[in-house]
């Protein structure tokens, strides 16, 4: 899923997506550990997707804590 698509999701939807991705990563690690064929290219793709979601969640949290942070930086001049 692209970042643009992720930005349109609600907080709850992002958390559900994050949980699903982490579950998928866990299952892939298990498959690799037990010797089953696991596609190696899936690991970095899933990790990047998890990172995107965590970044969005962090941005939203910052916006809640400091809603005027972006405006304040431009008002100093």
| Model confidence, pTM | 0.77
User: Looking at residue 12, which CATH number applies to its domain?
Assistant: 1.10.287.310
pLDDT at 19 over 50: yes
Question: Is residue 30 a part of any domain in this protein?
Answer: yes
Question: Is residue 69 a part of any domain in this protein?
Answer: no
**How confident is the model over 13-39, as a mean pLDDT?**
90
Provide the number of structural domains found in the chain. Answer: 1
Confidence of residue 6 (pLDDT cuts 50, 70, 90): confident
Tokens read off for 7? 């930005």
Question: What pLDDT score does 71 carry?
Answer: 59
Question: Is residue 70 a part of any domain in this protein?
Answer: no
Secondary structure (3-state) at 49 = helix
Confidence of residue 20 (pLDDT cuts 50, 70, 90): very high
| H/E element, 21 | helix 11-33
Question: What pLDDT score does 77 carry?
Answer: 46
């Amino acid at each position: 899923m692209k970042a643009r698509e992720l930005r349109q999701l609600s907080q709850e939807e992002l958390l559900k997506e994050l949980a699903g991705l982490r579950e998928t990563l866990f299952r892939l690690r298990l498959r690799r550990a037990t010797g089953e064929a696991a596609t190696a290219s899936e690991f970095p793709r899933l990790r990047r997707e998890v990172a995107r979601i965590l970044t969005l969640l962090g941005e939203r949290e910052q916006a809640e804590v400091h809603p005027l942070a972006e405006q304040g930086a431009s008002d100093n001049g």
